[in-house]
Amino acid sequence: MNCLNIFFGKICGVKTKLIFSVIFVYVMLVDFILPPLKLLPRTGLILDSFSYLNKNFKFAQMSIIVLVAILIIMFVAFFILYYLRGALIRFNESFPEFLTGLKVFEFFTPFLLIIFAGIYLGGNTFSELLFLFIFSFGLYVAELNKSFRNRNEAYILASKGLGIDERKMRKSVLWKNILPGIRDDIGKIYLKIWFYFLIYEFIFKLDYIGSLMRSIVKYADIAGFYAAAIFLWIVISLGYFSVTRFARHYIFWDEE
């Protein structure tokens, strides 16, 4: 009973209540009050569109595959960051301004990378995965740089005062001091990867979700757009929840 209370307590948070309210209002408006409108398709039509997308594009299956691929890419990029942590922190100490330049990843560089990957690697699945990997690694490094600038000097002083050698200090103390910063922004990193994945797919009309998005745009299929957007939102939220919970579980301490 207690478990049920906790579960429903979480389910019925403010955001969830808001979402259910919006759905309720939408259903009432389009199915019972308003006359048929092209921009606000009836719920039955959206459900039909979802079945159609599933049947013709294997939409649900593809979305799950993409989610798993993104999670694997994020994990591999983090694993490489972990192995390079000593060198990256050292590089940060020596050239603090250089890695700050990676902030451009947040703005236009992903688009340039998309074009680069598309032109030179042929806009296929491999180039897409490579692009997403480089992009997520770049975001991690940018985050590492940001957290490094906010590092806790007391840990460094204490390590020096206790005779801990610099290599161990970088790989253990500084790295652990930096991790909460990465954890706090891992949700943002995940969402950015999804965002650029969708753009990549759309530009190069790849078989996963790209061709589907093109079809929706081509035929101005509003119900299809709603169905795809709702299902993608659910899949992305599921991944977001998993990534942030996983990070919070393993990186349980905070920056000070």
Partner 1 sequence: MSKIIELKNVSKYFQRKEGFRIKVISNFSLAIEEGEAFTILGQKGAGKSVLLKILSNIYPPSEGSVFVNSKFAYLPSAPSSFPWLTPFENIKFVAPDLADKEISNLLELLGLEGYEKHYPISNSYGFRLRITIARALALNPKIIIFDEPFNLLENDVKLEIFNLLKAIKRKKLLTYVFATSNVNEALYLSDRIVIIKGEPAEIIDEIDCSELEINEANFNNDSKINEFRFKIQKSLVENINEKFFNISL
In the bound state with partner 1, the residue whose beta carbon lies nearer, of 164 and 198, is 164
In the bound state with partner 1, the residue whose beta carbon lies nearer, of 35 and 256, is 256
In the bound state with partner 1, the residue whose beta carbon lies nearer, of 68 and 158, is 158
Q: Which of 182, 180, 186, 190 is nearest to 239 (CA)?
A: 190
Specify whether the CB–CB gap between 121 and 130 falls below 8 A: yes
The whole-angstrom separation of Cα 224 and Cα 100 is 41
> In the complex, what is the shortest distance from the CB of residue 85 to partner 1, in angstroms, rounded to a whole number?
14
Return residues touching partner 1 (CB under 8 A). Answer: 152-155, 157-158, 160-164, 172-173, 176, 179, 252-254, 256
199 class by beta-carbon count within 10 Å (0-12 exposed, 13-18 middle, 19+ buried): middle
> In the complex, what is the shortest distance from the CB of residue 178 to partner 1, in angstroms, rounded to a whole number?
11
Q: Per the structure block, which two tokens stand in for 129?
A: 């995965």
In the bound state with partner 1, the residue whose beta carbon lies nearer, of 46 and 183, is 183
> In the complex, what is the shortest distance from the CB of residue 172 to partner 1, in angstroms, rounded to a whole number?
7
In the bound state with partner 1, the residue whose beta carbon lies nearer, of 168 and 188, is 168
Q: How many CB atoms lie within 10 A of CB 113?
A: 19
> In the complex, what is the shortest distance from the CB of residue 246 to partner 1, in angstroms, rounded to a whole number?
16
Specify whether the CB–CB gap between 141 and 101 falls below 8 A: no
> In the complex, what is the shortest distance from the CB of residue 223 to partner 1, in angstroms, rounded to a whole number?
49
Q: Which of 134, 142, 144 is nearest to 112 (CA)?
A: 134
